[in-house]
Amino acid sequence: MRRNSQQFKSARKLIAVFEIIGWLAIVAGAVVAMIAFGERAFWRVFSIGALVVLAGLVQVLAAQIARAVSVIADNSGEIVARLGTLSPDNKSRHSKSEIGTVLKAYKGRLIFRAREGFQVGGSGPFQTEREAEEFIDQKE
């Protein structure tokens, strides 16, 4: 598990409980709808079962969306943590960094350390970081 995932531990447990309740509602609604086939008031009982199934589906949907949001938040936290270790003003960091290391984000694009300078996506190499930034400016 990632370092930041501990922040969302209780939220994920609550989401799991919420989703289980939704699945139980789906099963209960399906049982009620199947019982309706033997009842005189077929449409009333069937409608209740169908509404419970629909409510359970909406609840499971909401739980899945909440789970996706927590995963996105976890990944975003890790990206911010990694980008926070970058120092664009520190030139010695650039010269010592490993090839393929993200040096900085500039206008939504990442500048990487290349074997011979800097790289933006698949373009480059650029001799200086400023040349990479100018390349990004030209693409906009």
Q: Which has the higher per-residue pLDDT, 121 or 97?
A: 121
pLDDT tens digit sequence for 78-120: 787 777 666 555 444 444 556 666 667 777 777 777 767 777 7
Write out pLDDT tens, residues 46-55.
899 999 999 9
What pLDDT was estimated at residue 87? Answer: 56
Instruction: Inform me whether the pLDDT recorded for 1 exceeds 50.
Output: no
Q: With contact defined as beta carbons under 8 Å apart, do 88 and 104 qualify?
A: yes
**Global pTM value:** 0.54
Q: How do the domains of the chain map onto residue ranges?
A: 3-84, 91-139
User: In this predicted model, what pLDDT tens digit does every residue of 12-26 receive, in sequence order?
Assistant: 899 999 999 999 999
Work out the average pLDDT over 62-83: 85
pLDDT at 91: 47
Using 50, 70 and 90 to split pLDDT, how confident is the model at 71? confident
Torsion sign, CA atoms 38, 41, 44, 47: positive
CA distance 112 to 27: 51
Q: Is the peptide bond before 88 cis (omega within 30 degrees of 0)?
A: no
Higher pLDDT, 100 or 134: 134
